[in-house]
Structures are given as structure tokens and as C-alpha cells.
Amino acid sequence: MSHAEQLDIAIVGAGAAGLAAGIFAAEAARAPGARRRIAILDGARKPGAKILVSGGGRCNVTNVEVTPEDYNGGSKTVIRNVLRAFDHRRTLAWMKDLGVELKLEETGKYFPVSDNAHTVLRALFDRLAQLGVEVRPSCRVTAIRPEEQGFRIDVAEGPSILARTLIMATGGLALPKSGSDGAGLVMLERLGHRIVPTTPALVPLLLGETAGPAGAYGELSGLTLDARLRLADAKGRAEAEYEGSLLFTHFGLSGPTALNISRHWLRRRLESPGERPPLLFGHPKLSTPQIADEWLRKAAAGNPRRHLAGTLHQLFPERLARVLAGDSDGPVGQLPRDRRLAVAQSLAALALNVTGDRGYTFAETTAGGVDLGDIDYASMESRRVPGLFLCGELLDVDGRIGGFNFQWAWATGYLAGRAAARRAA
């Protein structure tokens, strides 16, 4: 009978979190005589695909400022403690150690100077090779079972693998073609972990046809502008609000502002199925219809003969100004009051008819995942299964656009890797 392969630390998933965990586990286990057998198992033929496509192929590795408020999902206290243990400054220093030179852009995002995500992936792989950590591609894990001496890991092809400690870094469900299809969450649920229901996050939104300017997105396709999107609760209070670049497309909305608010819209719909909460579109400087009306009246007083579309063009690109002016494109000074109020409403809080999202295939990350209450945040060890460590997107945390998701992956990978090495010793 052949013996099953025995590892000290098995890491399932060679995405950002798993690769970081592998490096930090190996570094922590480097004491003389304490060499550990560590392998990272990944179902993909070429692991790291998500790093390569990230940030438009440039990989936005972190941000100039990272706070718990940049994240959604589970407890902010847990998020704060994790980020404190390995903050963005540590990421910068670590990347430097790995030989990745970074540059800060005006948006607060850090990218490799090479503007090429390959630089980051190559540096991670090189460091793992230096440390003697094997990255095993085409190794799909189908089940994990705690045993007396650790874990038995069943793989799709070949004999099971034994590991004394196990790090799960299988990601969420975003970009399934990269190999992250939620199978890890199913395995963790079987082991008793609570899974907060998942939805896509940082995903483009679909708009439906409707009368008036809110349905005219087809005419606006390709238009990028600065805007605010707000999701209001039943009483009209802002539940979530983002400002910044917004892109109209042939299907609806994309660009950072739409991506950032998408998870809030999808969570609301998850809580109230059948509801299609409107997203309120507005100009960043006009926070309420009253303020917009004031602006309109001032603009009309200043130049009453200017047409409405021309007046609105002071705020918005011409195409959008024409759509918002609609049929009433006469001199702005002659605009009847009720029409002026309707236009003011469109400038500050135009209710867009969002009908859905483009799904995990087009999502950058996953909202929901393993409940943070099921992990010890100092070590990322599961409270349900001792010796099992969790990191990355599979946890119930999702960041906004700007390098925050990688920061979460590096930080949780760091904690899980070090703690797993201590446990394996």
C-alpha cells in the first residue's frame, strides 16, 4: 500500500492570499532545523490569473490610506485588527523586499513601476521558490477532512494528501474562470462554518428601459463623468453613497462609482427579494433637489436666454445635458416652475431603474463568505476546526475599488501563514 504524501502545511488556493500565506509561513518556519514541507495546491492550470488581470493588468497592490471604512461585510473591529497587524506600510515594505518597486498615483493607488501585474506575480513566485515552497497547479481539492493528526485533503486526480495544518485560501466566486467558484465555501460550510450569503461585489449594474432620462442610458453609452450614486433607505436616508467616475455602457453602469455601490444594491435586494431599490444619480456638488433648484434659478437669473441643455452642460457632458433637458429645451429663464423642479430632481436624485448586475463573471470580488465570528482574528484560525486557517476573499469582507482587496488578502495571508507555521511547529 502506498503512503499518502505528508505535508506540514498545505495551502489550498494560489491567489493573492494563498501566495502571501505560503511566503509568510515558510519565512516563519525558517529557524534552523525547523524546515517545513509546505505546498500550495491550486486547481487552475496557471495559478495567479486574477493577479494578472487586476487593475487593468497593472495590479493595484494597495492604497495610500487603508481604514476599516474602506471595507464592507463583517465586524469592523475584526477588520481593524487584521489591518493593524499588517497595514499598507507593511505591504509597501514587503513589496520592496520582494523586489517590486511601486509608484503612488494621484488616486491614492499603488501600482508596480513597471505598470505590469506580471512583476508582482513573478516576485511572489520567485520568493516561494527561494523558500522551497511548492506551488502545485492543476491540483483541484474536492474535500478536506480533519483527522487526529491534521487533515486529509482529497484531490480530483491522484491520491489524498495529508497535512498537519491547513490554510484555506480558495477565494470567493468572482471571476470563476480563474478557478474561484465557491467550492471552498461549500467545504468550509460542511465543517460547520457559518457562511454569510454571497453576492457579487464591484460588479457592473444593468439598467432597464423606462420613460424619461433615467431610461436613456443607451444614448449615453460610452460616456464617462463625475457623479454621485446613492442608495436610499425607505425613509430616503442615504444607506450608501459614492462619488467619482461613472461610466454609462450599452447595458447600464460601470466605472468605480457604480462598482463601489453595486454590493449595497445587491445586498438590499438579497434582504428584500423582489424589491428593485432605485439608485439615485446626481451631480456631486448638488446633494439635494433643493440645492439643485437653487443652482438652476441662479443659472437662469444669470443667463435667462440660454437653453436648458446649454445651462446643464455647465454641470454635465453635452450628451447627458441634452438627455436631462429632454423636451423642454427652451430658454432656461422661461422654464415653468414644475418643470424646473423636475429638472432639479434629476440633477440631484434621478432614480435609475437598476434591474440587476452582470454576475460573478464580471465581478471583481465577492460580498459575503465565512462569518468573521468563526475565526480568531489574531491568527485567522477557525474557531470551528483547530489547525485550520482561513484567509482572503473567502471571508465575509469586501473592499472598495483602490487596492483594498489585495491589502486584505496580504494581511490575512500574513496572519494565517505565520500562525499556521507556529502550529505546525
Ligand X SMILES: Cc1cc2nc3c(=O)[nH]c(=O)nc-3n(C[C@H](O)[C@H](O)[C@H](O)COP(=O)(O)OP(=O)(O)OC[C@H]3O[C@@H](n4cnc5c(N)ncnc54)[C@H](O)[C@@H]3O)c2cc1C
Question: Which residues would be at the binding site for ligand X (CB under 6 A)?
Answer: 12-18, 41-44, 47, 50, 53-55, 59-60, 140-141, 169-171, 174-175, 178-180, 183-184, 364-365, 392-393, 403-406, 409
Burial of 24 (0-12, 13-18, 19+ CB in 10 A): buried
Q: How far is the CB of 187 from ligand X (least distance, A)?
A: 7
List the grid coordinates of 12.
489550498
Nearer to ligand X, 18 or 112 (CB): 18
Q: How far is the CB of 186 from ligand X (least distance, A)?
A: 9
Nearer to ligand X, 16 or 23 (CB): 16
List the grid coordinates of 241.
453613497
Structural element, H or E, at residue 422: helix 404-424
* Closest to 17 (Cα-Cα) out of 419, 395, 399, 422: 395
Question: What's the CA gap between 367 and 295, in Å, rounded?
Answer: 38
Q: How far is the CB of 8 from ligand X (least distance, A)?
A: 19
Question: What's the CA gap between 57 and 40, in Å, rounded?
Answer: 24
Nearer to ligand X, 94 or 406 (CB): 406
Question: What's the CA gap between 389 and 392, in Å, rounded?
Answer: 11
Nearer to ligand X, 316 or 406 (CB): 406
Partner residues linked to 370 by β-bridges: 195, 395
Burial of 355 (0-12, 13-18, 19+ CB in 10 A): middle
Nearer to ligand X, 180 or 199 (CB): 180
Q: How far is the CB of 85 from ligand X (least distance, A)?
A: 17
Nearer to ligand X, 191 or 341 (CB): 191
Q: How far is the CB of 258 from ligand X (least distance, A)?
A: 15
Structural element, H or E, at residue 221: none
Q: How far is the CB of 264 from ligand X (least distance, A)?
A: 18
Q: How far is the CB of 132 from ligand X (least distance, A)?
A: 21
Q: Could you tell me the CA-to-CA distances from 186 to 176, 265, 370 in Å, in that order?
A: 15, 25, 10
Question: What's the CA gap between 305 and 326, in Å, rounded?
Answer: 17
What DSSP line would sit under 155-194, residue for residue?
ESSS--EEEEEEEE----SSSGGGT-SSHHHHHHHHTT--
Nearer to ligand X, 16 or 280 (CB): 16
Nearer to ligand X, 169 or 372 (CB): 169
Nearer to ligand X, 51 or 292 (CB): 51
Chain-centre distance of CA 207, in angstroms? 21
Give the up-direction half-sphere exposure of residue 189: CA atoms within 13 A in the CB hemisphere: 12
* Closest to 55 (Cα-Cα) out of 89, 93, 102, 13: 102
* CB neighbours of residue 332 within 10 Å: 26
Q: How far is the CB of 418 from ligand X (least distance, A)?
A: 17
Q: How far is the CB of 165 from ligand X (least distance, A)?
A: 17
Inter-axis angle of helices 88-97 and 404-424, nearest 10: 70
Q: How far is the CB of 394 from ligand X (least distance, A)?
A: 6
Question: What's the CA gap between 348 and 229, in Å, rounded?
Answer: 10
Q: How far is the CB of 375 from ligand X (least distance, A)?
A: 14
Nearer to ligand X, 201 or 335 (CB): 201
Question: What's the CA gap between 295 and 343, in Å, rounded?
Answer: 11
Nearer to ligand X, 346 or 365 (CB): 365
What's the one-letter identity of residue 67? Answer: T
